[in-house]
Structure 1
Amino acid sequence: MIPVDGDFILAVAPRFSGEKAEAQMRIVGQISAIFAPTLASYQINTRLRIAHFMGQVTHECAGFRTTEEFASGAAYEGRSDLGNDQIGDGKRYKGRGLLQLTGRANYRLYGKKLNLPLEDDPEIAGDPAISLKIACEYWKSRNINRFADLDDLIKVTKLVNGGRRGLDDRRKYLQKAKNALAAIEGIRVALNEGENAVVLRRGSFGDKVGELQQLLVDKGFVISIDNDFGAGTEGAVIMFQKQNGLKVDGIVGKSTWDKLAAANNSK
């Protein structure tokens, strides 16, 4: 299980001051200890899955400073597509949670999924711990992991909000999450005496990926140097491993770093 917690969330989310900062710290503080195990229980358990989840929820909950939409909810009054069939349902079942659960029908549906009285007591959907579970349950119900695995931000965004609203913002948080995860998962291994290297794989992001990409380019591979370990970089690593009798897994550990360094020094 990747140990993502409150520090990780704050590394991704924007920073605020005053009342906004207090609201953010209240929410993050309540979910910090349960964040990693909750995500893991929903198979949101790889770098790409966690990064995409963070990219979406950070945008949707305004940087973890609210679990309830700022509007009154009056705009949802009478919305039959949301199951709002009683007077006052618009405001009663306004958007709440990290991914903004909205409408009587959805409160009823996710209440049943989580065995919680969300329809009878909709305000509990704004509780940070409950809102995290709702977001994960929604993620699972739409099978969003399959597109996170492909690093497909546009399809993930469409499944979350039905369009491309806030795409640039979501992309920014996705990249920040990749950076934060690279720092957490940057397992240090001995390369040469007194020298270390990071274990890298698809989904890794940061300067060490750029260093790897430069070494591969120096060996004749045609890839972009963009600090993002995507499909192209993975393909080049796999080919390099095949050419050099290494374990072919697309993961850059000690043996692959050694070969790359040796090949570069022999030029």
Structure 2
Amino acid sequence: MISVDGDFILKVAPRFSGNKAAAQARIVGALSAIFAPTLDAYEINTKLRIAHFMGQVTHECAGFRTTEEFASGAAYEGSRKLGNIQPGDGKRYKGRGLIQLTGRDNYRTIGEKLALPLEDNPEIASEPATSLKIACEYWKSRKINSAADLDDLIKATKLVNGGLNGLEDRRKYLRMAKDALAVIDGMRVAADEGGSTVVLRRGSFGNAVGDLQELLRAKGYDVTVDHDFGPATELAVMHFQKSTGLEKDGIVGNNTWTALRS
């Protein structure tokens, strides 16, 4: 399980002031201890899956400062498609959750899955822990992990949003999540006589990967500097290691860094 918590969330989410900051602090504080185990329970448990989840959810919940739709919900009044068949259902079953749950039928369905009385007490859906589970249930039902595994932002956005609204915002948060995960995963630090070196391998993200790719390009390897340690970067590393007599494992530790910088 990757240790993502409140500090990780705040490395991705925008920062606010005043009442907005207080609302964000309340939500993130409530999620901090349960964030990693909840994601892990839904198999949102790889760097790519977590990064894409964060990219989407951070946009959907306005930077973790709300678990409830800003609008009143009156626009949903009388929507039989959502199961809003009783007077007042529009406002009663307005959007709630980190990815918003809307409409009586959806509240009933998710409530049954979570064993919570969401149809009878819809306000429960805005509680931070429940709002996270709602987002994870939606993620699972739409099979968005498959898009994340392919690092496909467009597909993931369409599955969450139905279109591409807020795409650049989602892209920004995805990149920030990858950078934050790079620090957590980093990834690991290997001690050596001269100090310490960031160890990189396939799946690593962040500025250190960009530095690696720049060094590989300087050695004549045609890799894209995209800060993602994918198969092309791994292959270039292995070719370089073979050419310099290093162990051909595709892992960039102290010896590989030293050879690249020589």
TM (normalized to structure 1)? 0.90
Quick check: 2:190–2:199 contact (8 Å CA) kept in 1? yes
Aligned to 1:92: 92
More displaced stretch, 233-242 vs 104-113: 233-242
Gaps of 5+ in 2: none
Partner of 1:188: 189
Cα deviation per residue 1:107-148 (whole Å; 9 max; x = unaligned)?
Answer: 111111111111111110000011111111111111111111
CA distance in 2, matches of 1:203, 1:69: 35
The equivalent residue for 1:261 is: 258
DSSP 3-state at the match of 1:198 = strand
Equivalent in the alignment of 2:154: 154
What is the distance in 2 between the residues matched to 1:32 and 1:195? 32
Aligned-CA RMSD value:
1.9
Contact 2:190 2:198 in 1 (8 A): yes
Cα drift, residue 205 of structure 1: 2.5
SS at match of 2:34: helix
Query: For the residues of structure 1 that align with 2:154 and 2:246, how far apart are their CA atoms?
Result: 37
Q: Which sits farther off after the overlay, 81-90 or 55-64?
A: 81-90
Q: Does the Cα contact within 8 Å between 2:239 and 2:248 map onto a contact in 1?
A: no
**Alignment of structure 1 residues 247-258 onto 2, 5 Å:** 248=249, 250=250, 252-254=251-253, 257-258=254-255
Q: Distance in 2 between matches of 1:263 and 1:28?
A: 41
Give the percent of matched residue pairs that are identical in Structure 1 and Structure 2: 70
| TM-score (normalizing by structure 2) | 0.92
What is the aligned partner in structure 2 of residue 122 from structure 1? 122
**Distance across 2 between alignment mates of 1:109 and 1:48:** 28
Structure 1 unmatched runs, 5+: none
User: Aligned-pair distance for 1:99?
Assistant: 0.4
Moved more, 192-201 or 83-92: 192-201
Mapping of residues 23-62 of structure 1, within 5 Å: 23-62=23-62
* Alignment length (residue pairs): 260
Q: String of CA shifts for 1:36-70, please: whole Å, max 9, x gaps.
A: 11111111111111111111111000011100010
Higher mean Cα deviation, 99-108 or 204-213? 204-213
* Aligned-pair CA distance for 1:247: 5.1
Which residue of 2 is the match for residue 213 of structure 1?
213
- Give, in whole Å, the separation in 1 of the partners of 2:182 and 2:22: 28
Alpha-carbon distance in structure 2 between the residues aligned to 1:130 and 1:207: 35
1:68 aligns with 2:68: yes
Shift of 1:246: 3.6
- Correspondence for 2:102: 102
1:232 Cα deviation from its structure 2 partner: 3.2
Change (3 A) 1:195 1:49: same
